Structure 1
Amino acid sequence: MPYVWNSAAGARNYPYSTNTTTNPLRYSSLLLLNEAHDIGEVWANMLHNVYAQLVAARGFSATAMTDPTTTGGNTVFLHLFIDALAIQPCNPTFVDARNAWIQADANRYNGANYCLLWRTFASRGLGVNAALHIDDFSVPLGC
């Protein structure tokens, strides 16, 4: 929606991007943000990064919206998105939601994207030891 504010970011503070210069938001940004849309912007950018990494690793399926059996990164993303929603608790924290994504991958893909997911979440501060809106960039051993 760049037309809304005559800005590439649209109504957001930053455009969605995998580049931390373009979009510097990370888990610790929640220490300064308390408005629901701003908080959602942090999560949405993290998921944008997950999407980008899955497509980079698995390619893009032009038929993802009509054929759920494709193996493109966009299809995998859609499955993980829905699966994670179903298994995360009510009112999830970012850590809860991250854990649900990793569990959804274990459930559906036998953990095939385990390290990709950890690296991507950790790149925005939601690593193994992230808690209380304090960034952690670590990933599990083996990743």
Structure 2
Amino acid sequence: MTHQDATVPDFITGQYVTNKAKGIRSFPYSTDPSVNPLTYASLQDLGEVHDIGEVWANILHNVYAALVTDRGFYADGRTDPTSSAGNVVFLHNFIDALSLQPCNPTFIQARDAWLQADVNRYQGENQCTLWKAFASKGLGVNAGDYENDTTLPDEC
């Protein structure tokens, strides 16, 4: 949320908490799978809520990067919600998806809420961008039972 331009660098969070350079996460937030290899299938081996959330947070980092790559960046996006730039679309879909998903959603239910949020607000303009970002982390069309899937809908 603190980005100032269209670059989406890798980043580490919480170094101050642990006083360690790697911070509080297992891997930096990154769109590069060699830097952050966590995927939907990683949930097979994770049981602690913060570890599970780390996977979802990096998936959303990838969604943000994809939207900004496709739609650009609007510097005033936090104060002017009228832009169709990627960072603004991300924030709208982020908030809208929260009201569409059930309490304690699965990753698949949360993904589907994001996709529906985009249909509701943007008439599905970003469906393929969203699907590609989710599928790149294992949440493709046929994902389930903590098994990765990279399948995209036919229209993508």
Q: Assess same fold via TM > 0.5.
A: yes
CA distance in 2, matches of 1:118, 1:100: 12
Equivalence for 1:127: 140
Instruction: Using the aligned pairs only, state the percent identity.
Output: 60
Aligned length: 142
Partner of 1:72: 85
Letter in 2 for 1:50: V
Residue 115 of structure 1, CA deviation: 0.4
Q: Distance in 2 between matches of 1:35 and 1:135?
A: 20
Give 1:105's match in structure 2, choosing from 111, 118, 122: 118
Aligned counterpart in structure 1 of residue 51 of structure 2, from 30, 34, 38:
38
Indicate whether 1:6 and 2:17 are aligned: no
Q: TM-score, normalised by structure 2?
A: 0.89
1:59 aligns with 2:72: yes
| In 2, Cα distance between equivalents of 1:140 and 1:73 | 21
**Amino acid corresponding to residue 131 of structure 1 in structure 2:** G
How far apart are residue 86 of structure 1 and its match?
0.6
CA offsets 1:35-61 (integer angstroms, 9 cap, x no match) = 000000000000000000111111111
Amino acid aligned to 1:130? A
Structure 1: gaps (5+ residues): none
Q: 5+ unaligned residues in a row in structure 2: which ranges?
A: 1-13
TM-score by length of 1: 0.96
RMSD of the alignment, in Å? 0.9
Q: Partner of 1:27 in structure 2?
A: 40
